[in-house]
Chain A
Amino acid sequence: MAEGAIFRIAGLGKSFGPNDVLRGVAMELRAGEVTVLMGANGAGKSTLVKIMSGIHQADRGVMMLADAPFLPATPAEAMRAGVVTVHQNINDGVVGALDVATNLVLDRLNDTGRGIFFNPRRVRREAADVAARMGLRLDLSADVTELPLADRQMVAIARAMAHEPKVMILDEPTSSLSANEAARLFDLIDRLRARGVAILYISHRMSDIRRLADRIFSLRDGQIVGRFEEKPLDYEGAVNAMLGRNLGRSGIASRAASRPIFSAEGLLISPAGRPFSLTLGAGEVVAVTGLVGVGKTRLAETLYGIHAPLGGTMQLDGSVYRPKAPAEAIARGVFLVAKDRAQTGIVLDFNIYENMSLPFLPRFSHFGVARRRAERAKAREQIKDLKIVCRSERDDLATLSGGNQQKVTVARWLSQPSRLLILDEPFQGVDIAARHDIAAKLRESAADRATLLFLTELDEALETADRILVMSEHTIVGEHRSAEVDMERLLADVAGRGIGDAA
């Protein structure tokens, strides 16, 4: 056992039915350090977090908190013992209908012996206290719903800190934050570290990990398969351990577009932007990158007919393209893999083949009656093609892991030939292995269409695209070829050439 560890896990096991999710996890967390836990989707991260925070109980093994056994039966018990968790979904951490002050002291309102009446002044006073200790500068009387996501996240963390925890678990806290917001979160984490909290940080984002990690544990198939504790940390080693294979950075040979498929002239997508032009050719994969909130999703949805452009003209295959609804875009062969699959992509109650055929039901129907056999055959083909892990094409989407759900959404739009395939943040919440599968499939099938990716992560853009366009303030401001990219110029474009604040 490691010296000075405040939290120790040994031999932790958990099974769901016949499925061993955790198979003897051993791990320790030290006070005042950030321990990063990396793992592919389905490696057992969520289960481990749930056991540590008292949602699930372990089948085997021990957990020790400050040399005393730690066996929380409920989340409240874990919290009282000093292990707090900030979950991935930010809105689970705050109550939208209440103001910041009440949110900050929400847990204490449940304390026994608290009295029945709600004293707003006392709440405000306690909240100001909590906020001050965390260095949080927020309007305490504001409604939480008025705050940007990052501030809500801070409120959730500050509230968790009010318990004076010994261990704090942060489950993918930056997955919906912009780079600026993430930077503020990192400052807060630095303060927690300085105060001696042991932090378990779970993330997919290499930039987060490089910024924060004191130690890295790699989890694969329910076991810790790699420990990286000596500085400088071996980040590539950690990734390889987590994946169990050596991915290596695939050098992309930029392909040149043969003939234009889609073009836009003087396109204006928002009153805040300027008109710009855009040409996409057959066979090329183009990535649009830029900070969060610069209009990437707006552009994607404009091309797909959800928003009407404010100005300019679009051409597809040499004729005017002005879709008024997604149905029209689909009919012309313009498909969108939309951002945030849970909201805009998948139907959770449907199974895999029903999800895949959803936009194309008319093509799978005779006189309005759906031909299930054809749907299923198509789905089986796609499952094989994209290596989707499932029992059969009749599995409900709810049974699949996040990465496989995303593969289903992508497979849906690859199942039919398209002219322009648009993918908005297709790698969000997807592990690196699934990302490589999807990217490889995209490049392999790109020959007869134009492919447009919207990606916030520069690394993802460099890894998958032939050409990179940079967006800033609802306008395309720069163009780069992946093969001969000048990183300095690219970053300057992303930062809006000194207009906005740099990432």
Chain B
Amino acid sequence: MSSDLVGKPVTEAQPSGAARLSLRELAIRYGFLLLLAGLIVFFSLATRGFASPQAAVFILQSVSITGILALGVTATMVVGGFDLSIGSIATSAMMAAAYVMVVMEQNALVAVLVCLAIGALVGLINGLIICYMRVPDLLATLGMMFLLIGLQRIPTEGRSIAAGMTMPDGSTAAGTFSANFLALGRHRFDFFIPDLVPASVVVLIVLAVLIWFFLEYTRFGRMMYAVGSNARAAEFAGAPVKAYKIWAYVISGIFSSIGGILLAARLGRGDIASGNNLLLDAVAAALIGFAVLGAAKPNAFGTAIGALFVGVLLQGLTMMNVPYYTQDFVKGAVLVIALVFTFSLLGRNAR
């Protein structure tokens, strides 16, 4: 199913002969990056305050959580799969963090570890269902998404979790969000300017660099691409194909739970209504990433640029007083254009 997303048409062998890149090839490689640069220049000229460190940081912060989820789902796309449960893993992790601290009165470290364990476990289960029960990836993770959306409401009987909340048995929850945990969402590091860079942005950048290096430069990443492109050939080359697929879902699960931790730290409560848009935004960023540098396949750098692109566009439009309710329309339009770009231009040019 989802392999259609990464498949690119292959035409007849025709050595192009041209050593220099043609204009068309240049456009395909750098078009999206140029467009991003153009947008930034445009907004800088058209609005006041867009071209400031604060605005740049704000954009990064606004895309940090979806960006982290998008990097996770990129890993599953690389092995030819897909993970629809990322959004619900993130919200489950958020609720779990709140429950561990507020109801079970544990500290920040325990909350973080519980969240990461949940992400890894759900990813592992996803992988096992897909590889050993032979359930198609989209369906397995769709089911898991449904299950988690329901599961996260059960411990509190459908209530959101906040310090001092009333428990189902009538008592009052004694715990609070620990200050250390909240710092994950609210602390800002000095970077030339005091209190500039939020922790979530640092986490995003670190994870992006990590997954990018992992996918592009390690043999494990190379093997994951081989599995996604031709699983049988990878198997005949001695790769444990199922293990690579399962690891991809575990990575996706862990990244999603990190997103959930940051969400809980930012909100300071376990809000059952938040995180509705996470899945779609993250998937959109990963798919927009196909168009970056003419990759035509899932890639970490593209995903990061894709997330940034959406962030820049929304921030710029907001500063130009475009109403908030047009946001989803704008995101959708960007996605459609990026996909057309990827599959028509790149497809025809894919030798």
Contact of A343 among B17, B233, B351 (CB under 8 A): B233
- B239 / chain A contacts, CB cutoff of 8 Å: 327, 358
Taken together as a complex, chains A and B put the C-alpha atoms of A330 and B222 apart, in Å, by 18
**Do the beta carbons of B226 and A347 come within 8 Å of each other?**
yes
- Some 24 contacts from A to B, beta carbons below 8 A apart, are A17-B14, A18-B16, A19-B14, A19-B16, A19-B17, A306-B236, A330-B237, A330-B238, A338-B236, A343-B230, A345-B233, A346-B233, A347-B225, A348-B10, A350-B225, A354-B222, A365-B218, A369-B217, A370-B217, A370-B222, A396-B351, A398-B10, A398-B13, A398-B351
Q: Closest CB-CB distance, A419 to chain B, in whole Å? A: 15
Confirm or deny: B150 has a beta carbon within 8 angstroms of a beta carbon on chain A: no
Q: Closest CB-CB distance, A405 to chain B, in whole Å? A: 9
**Do the beta carbons of B229 and A326 come within 8 Å of each other?**
no
Taken together as a complex, chains A and B put the C-alpha atoms of A364 and B10 apart, in Å, by 29
Confirm or deny: A86 has a beta carbon within 8 angstroms of a beta carbon on chain B: no
**Do the beta carbons of B218 and A370 come within 8 Å of each other?**
yes
A344-B236 contact, Cβ under 8 Å, with A358-B226, A370-B219, A396-B351: yes
Taken together as a complex, chains A and B put the C-alpha atoms of A46 and B13 apart, in Å, by 11
| 7 A-B pairs with the lowest CB-CB distances in the bound complex, closest first | A361-B219, A327-B238, A359-B237, A16-B14, A349-B229, A326-B238, A18-B17
- Of residues 1 through 28 on chain A, the ones whose CB sits less than 8 Å from some CB of chain B are 16-19, 21
Confirm or deny: A442 has a beta carbon within 8 angstroms of a beta carbon on chain B: no
Residue in chain B with minimal CB distance to A46? B12
**Do the beta carbons of A18 and B18 come within 8 Å of each other?**
yes
Q: Closest CB-CB distance, B296 to chain A, in whole Å? A: 9
**Do the beta carbons of B223 and A361 come within 8 Å of each other?**
yes
**Do the beta carbons of A325 and B14 come within 8 Å of each other?**
no
**Do the beta carbons of B234 and A348 come within 8 Å of each other?**
no
**Do the beta carbons of B237 and A358 come within 8 Å of each other?**
yes
> What does DSSP make chain A's interface, helix, strand, loop or mixed?
mixed
**Do the beta carbons of B218 and A368 come within 8 Å of each other?**
yes
Chain B interface residues toward A at CB < 8 A: 8, 10, 12-18, 217-220, 222-223, 225-226, 229-230, 232-240, 297, 350-351
Q: Closest CB-CB distance, B224 to chain A, in whole Å? A: 11
- A358 / chain B contacts, CB cutoff of 8 Å: 222-223, 226, 233-234, 237, 239
Confirm or deny: A231 has a beta carbon within 8 angstroms of a beta carbon on chain B: no
Residue in chain B with minimal CB distance to A42? B13
- A347 / chain B contacts, CB cutoff of 8 Å: 225-226, 229-230, 233-234
Taken together as a complex, chains A and B put the C-alpha atoms of A343 and B236 apart, in Å, by 10
Q: Closest CB-CB distance, B199 to chain A, in whole Å? A: 28
- Of residues 353 through 371 on chain A, the ones whose CB sits less than 8 Å from some CB of chain B are 354, 358-359, 361-362, 364-365, 368-370
A364-B13 contact, Cβ under 8 Å, with A344-B233, A398-B351: no
- B237 / chain A contacts, CB cutoff of 8 Å: 326, 330, 358-359
Task: Sort chain A's interface into a size bin.
Answer: 35 or more
**Do the beta carbons of B218 and A350 come within 8 Å of each other?**
no
> What does DSSP make chain B's interface, helix, strand, loop or mixed?
loop
Q: Closest CB-CB distance, B112 to chain A, in whole Å? A: 26
- Of residues 379 through 412 on chain A, the ones whose CB sits less than 8 Å from some CB of chain B are 391, 396, 398-401
Chain A interface residues toward B at CB < 8 A: 16-19, 21, 42, 46-47, 304, 306, 325-327, 329-330, 336, 338, 343-350, 354, 358-359, 361-362, 364-365, 368-370, 391, 396, 398-401
Which of A326, A349, A350, A396 counts the most B-chain CB atoms under 10 A from its CB?
A: A349
Taken together as a complex, chains A and B put the C-alpha atoms of A337 and B13 apart, in Å, by 23
**Do the beta carbons of A350 and B232 come within 8 Å of each other?**
no
Contact of B219 among A344, A362, A398 (CB under 8 A): A362
**Do the beta carbons of A391 and B15 come within 8 Å of each other?**
yes
**Do the beta carbons of A349 and B17 come within 8 Å of each other?**
no
**Do the beta carbons of A399 and B222 come within 8 Å of each other?**
no
Apart from A17-B14, A325-B238, A347-B233, 13 more pairs, CB < 8 Å? A18-B16, A304-B236, A344-B232, A344-B236, A347-B234, A348-B229, A350-B229, A358-B234, A365-B218, A365-B219, A369-B219, A399-B351, A400-B13
**Do the beta carbons of A343 and B232 come within 8 Å of each other?**
yes
- A336 / chain B contacts, CB cutoff of 8 Å: 236
**Do the beta carbons of B217 and A349 come within 8 Å of each other?**
no
Contact of A345 among B17, B236, B240 (CB under 8 A): B236
**Do the beta carbons of A349 and B297 come within 8 Å of each other?**
yes
A364-B219 contact, Cβ under 8 Å, with A330-B238, A347-B226: yes
Residue in chain A with minimal CB distance to B220? A368
- A368 / chain B contacts, CB cutoff of 8 Å: 218-220
- B220 / chain A contacts, CB cutoff of 8 Å: 368
Taken together as a complex, chains A and B put the C-alpha atoms of A176 and B236 apart, in Å, by 21
Taken together as a complex, chains A and B put the C-alpha atoms of A136 and B235 apart, in Å, by 40
- B17 / chain A contacts, CB cutoff of 8 Å: 17-19
**Do the beta carbons of A399 and B13 come within 8 Å of each other?**
yes
Residue in chain A with minimal CB distance to B221? A370
Taken together as a complex, chains A and B put the C-alpha atoms of A338 and B235 apart, in Å, by 11
Which of A46, A338, A345, A399 counts the most B-chain CB atoms under 10 A from its CB?
A: A399
Q: Closest CB-CB distance, A400 to chain B, in whole Å? A: 6
- B219 / chain A contacts, CB cutoff of 8 Å: 361-362, 364-365, 368-370
Taken together as a complex, chains A and B put the C-alpha atoms of A346 and B229 apart, in Å, by 9
